[in-house]
């Protein structure tokens, strides 16, 4: 009998010791994950002492711009300045001898005409032929710039001369866009032909089964996918110059007045505004999740929010997609599993505010603490 009681006591002691070890490990895990999120969130916020202003720097655009996989097109299309190049420019198109010669002849004639116009100081209508490999993309860019122009000229307080100057600036930028794309047209045509070749190679039998062919196809795909970056960057530079020119139409007094704020809002595109909201939301979420986990407050909700945030990042670089950057994917996967565990056990009930709230709730409602 005494032996049984001794054995039972040892088991209870061992069980109690194990329980406390689990609790300590659980609290430590919660604090580590919370500190990581808090530190990452704090890096996104900076304070300018000279101007006494806070600013947010989040690499959301970089993450979205490098997205891979089935959602890449949708994700990248949410970025400002791209004008839907993923669906309008990155289109497979075979370059035949006739189409190549047609474009080459047109480029030669276009360059001569523009040189003559620049020498005389007289400009004809902007020319973007339908057979040009960038025609649909150019139409979208022009439409988006017209929206900026309309938004700017709709601001009350601008005089007729300023509105006329804005119209002249639009014509200048539209011609520069046509000139830039004409200069790059042969390279764009070659790029679309490479996209067409990759599509054919990917559809060929055995392309996905033979290791060396699969690796070579992935390398070529990554190489070709980098080509549009310079054209997108070139268009962004033109758009930035256009927006800066519109700002310079205002007088110094107008810039410092309420009119200047209205113009800044008008020149900010909807996608730019959405990106600012996303950056603010990401900063608040990372800081909030970190603070909640460190304090053990609303731990389940904070863990679920953190897990969803990680998933939104991981989906941009799925490891099974060729060319995906998996540098941080598996680290994020481990932290995602940690979030799932913290949410499942309600880790804030040990050494956290959730334990106090749980006790108060139990006393208030007359239920026994579990």
So what's the pLDDT on residue 139?
95
The pLDDT-based confidence of 37 (bands split at 50, 70, 90) is very high
Contact predicate 190/96, CB 8 Å: no
The pLDDT-based confidence of 181 (bands split at 50, 70, 90) is very high
Annotated domain spans of the chain: 1-51+271-370, 81-268
- Cα separation, 77 vs 141, in Å, equals 13
- Cα separation, 352 vs 354, in Å, equals 5
- Cα separation, 93 vs 189, in Å, equals 8
So what's the pLDDT on residue 369?
42
For residue 60, give every residue at least 6 positions away whose Cβ sits within 8 Å of its Cβ, in sequence order, or none.
Answer: 275, 278, 279, 282
82 class by beta-carbon count within 10 Å (0-12 exposed, 13-18 middle, 19+ buried): buried
Nearest to 174 by CA among 203, 142, 150: 142
pLDDT tens-place string over residues 86-98:
889 989 999 999 9
Nearest to 73 by CA among 62, 59, 85: 85
Is residue 370's pLDDT more than 50?
no
The pLDDT-based confidence of 218 (bands split at 50, 70, 90) is confident
Taking CA 329 as the corner, what is the angle to CA 21 and CA 28, rounded to the nearest 5 degrees? 20
Q: What share of the chain in percent tops pLDDT 70?
A: 88
- Cα separation, 347 vs 305, in Å, equals 15
Is residue 210's pLDDT more than 90?
no
73-82, 147-156, 315-324, range with greatest mean pLDDT: 147-156
* Helix/strand/coil (H/E/C) assignment for every residue in 133-184: CCHHHHHHHHHHHHHHHHHHHCCCCCCHHHHHHHHHHHHHHHHHHHHHHHHH
Specify the 3-state DSSP secondary structure of 3.
helix
Structure tokens at 36: 């990581």
Averaged pLDDT, 96-109: 93
- Cα separation, 144 vs 242, in Å, equals 12
Contact predicate 93/193, CB 8 Å: yes
The pLDDT-based confidence of 15 (bands split at 50, 70, 90) is low
- Cα separation, 162 vs 251, in Å, equals 10
pLDDT tens-place string over residues 251-260:
999 988 999 8
**H helical segments located in the chain:** 2-43, 60-65, 72-77, 85-88, 97-120, 135-153, 160-203, 211-225, 228-249, 252-255, 258-267, 270-295, 299-314, 329-345, 353-365
For residue 293, give every residue at least 6 positions away whose Cβ sits within 8 Å of its Cβ, in sequence order, or none.
Answer: 30, 31, 33, 34, 37, 299, 302, 303, 306, 342, 347, 348
So what's the pLDDT on residue 51?
61
- Cα separation, 332 vs 308, in Å, equals 11
Nearest to 220 by CA among 198, 202, 203, 190: 198
Contact predicate 69/314, CB 8 Å: no
Nearest to 104 by CA among 132, 62, 67: 132
Count of residues making up the chain: 370
- Of 10-14, 247-251, 272-276, the one with minimum mean pLDDT is 10-14
pLDDT tens-place string over residues 275-304:
888 888 999 999 999 999 999 999 999 999
Q: What share of the chain in percent tops pLDDT 90?
A: 47
- Of 21-30, 204-213, 346-355, the one with minimum mean pLDDT is 204-213
Q: Which residue has the higher pLDDT, 29 or 19?
A: 29
- Of 50-54, 61-65, 132-136, 340-344, the one with minimum mean pLDDT is 50-54
């Amino acid at each position: 009998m005494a032996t049984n009681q001794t054995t039972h006591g040892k088991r209870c002691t061992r069980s109690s010791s194990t329980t406390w070890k689990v609790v300590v490990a659980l609290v430590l895990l919660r604090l580590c994950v919370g500190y990581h999120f808090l530190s990452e969130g704090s890096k996104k916020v900076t304070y300018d002492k000279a101007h006494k202003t806070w600013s947010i720097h989040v690499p959301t655009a970089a993450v979205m711009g490098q997205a891979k996989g089935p959602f890449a097109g949708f994700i990248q299309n949410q970025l400002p300045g791209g004008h839907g190049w993923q669906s309008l420019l990155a289109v497979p198109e075979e370059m035949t001898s006739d189409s190549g010669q047609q474009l080459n002849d047109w480029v030669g004639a276009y360059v001569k005409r523009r040189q003559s116009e620049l020498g005389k100081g007289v400009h004809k209508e902007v020319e973007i032929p339908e057979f040009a490999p960038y025609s649909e993309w150019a139409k979208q860019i022009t439409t988006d710039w017209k929206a900026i122009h309309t938004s700017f000229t709709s601001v009350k307080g601008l005089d007729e001369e300023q509105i006329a100057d804005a119209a002249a600036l639009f014509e200048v930028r539209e011609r520069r866009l046509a000139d830039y794309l004409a200069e790059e047209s042969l390279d764009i045509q070659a790029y679309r032909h490479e996209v067409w070749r990759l599509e054919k190679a990917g559809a060929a039998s055995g392309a996905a089964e033979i290791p060396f062919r699969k690796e070579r196809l992935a390398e070529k795909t990554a190489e070709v996918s980098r080509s549009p970056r310079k054209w997108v960057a070139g268009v962004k530079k033109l758009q930035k110059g256009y927006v800066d020119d519109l700002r310079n139409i205002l007088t110094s007094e107008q810039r410092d007045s309420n009119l200047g704020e209205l113009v800044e809002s008008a020149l900010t595109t909807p996608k730019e505004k959405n990106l600012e909201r996303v950056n603010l939301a990401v900063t608040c979420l990372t800081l909030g999740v970190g603070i909640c986990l460190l304090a053990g407050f609303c731990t389940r909700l904070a863990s679920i929010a953190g897990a969803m945030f990680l998933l939104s990042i991981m989906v941009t670089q799925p490891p099974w997609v060729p060319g995906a950057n998996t540098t941080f994917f598996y680290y994020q996967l481990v932290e995602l599993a940690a979030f799932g565990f913290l949410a499942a056990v309600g880790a804030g009930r040990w050494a956290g505010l959730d334990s106090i709230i749980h006790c108060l709730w139990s006393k208030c409602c007359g239920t026994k603490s579990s």
